[in-house]
Amino acid sequence: MGDRQRDGYVLTNDAARVDVDRVHKWLGEQSYWATGRSYEAVVRSMEGSLPYSIFAGGEQVAIARAVTDGATFAWLCDVFVDVDHRGRGLGQWLVDSILEDLSAQGIPRFLLATRDAHGVYRRSGFEVLDGADRYMEIDRRPTRAAVLGRA
């Protein structure tokens, strides 16, 4: 995918452009699902996934990433838009771009988790997980209660 442009913003999947310091601050300090995530974990997570970033005037203002096997499945995660740039459809643009790119590669199945943005993801075609009782997990994150809305 080449860079995409819209309303003065640039969306790219160039992993080399990710501002890891900024992303670490967003995830480790401002997100409910990754509070306390170490800098090293952010670096490894970017290296082990396909990060998509949005920039305004050279400054990163949003991030999302896909963890995928490249053939059958992708997990969308860490969708975050800087507070000063929210309400402009940037999160939707990130998600739709990832879905478009990975669908073009033949990936048929996508999964994500959210506590409070169901409406945003429904606009991209996501539905509540059917057959959730078939899935199992081990979740050792210290943010588990917050993720589940119990904090």
Asked whether the beta carbons of 51 and 20 are under 8 A apart, the reply is no
The 10 Å CB-count burial string (b at 16+, else e) for 45-77 is bbeebbbbbbbbeeebbbbbbbebeeeeebebb
**How much is the pTM?**
0.92
CATH class of 4-147: alpha beta
Q: Is the pLDDT of residue 151 over 80?
A: no
Q: Give residue 147's pLDDT.
A: 84
The DSSP code sequence of 120-135 is: HHHTTT--PPTTGGG-
Q: Give residue 100's pLDDT.
A: 98
Q: Is the pLDDT of residue 150 over 90?
A: no
At 146, the pLDDT band (50, 70, 90 cuts) reads confident
Residue-wise pLDDT tens digits, 65-93: 999 999 999 999 999 999 999 999 999 99
Residue-wise pLDDT tens digits, 112-134: 999 999 999 999 999 999 999 99
Q: What would the mean pLDDT of 28-57 be, rounded to a whole number?
A: 96
Indicate the domain borders of the chain. 4-147
Asked whether the beta carbons of 147 and 113 are under 8 A apart, the reply is yes
**What whole-number distance in Å separates Cα of residue 56 and Cα of residue 86?**
13
Q: Give residue 86's pLDDT.
A: 97
Q: Is the pLDDT of residue 143 over 90?
A: no
Asked whether the beta carbons of 54 and 14 are under 8 A apart, the reply is no
| Residue (of 47, 61, 45) closest to 9 by Cα position | 61
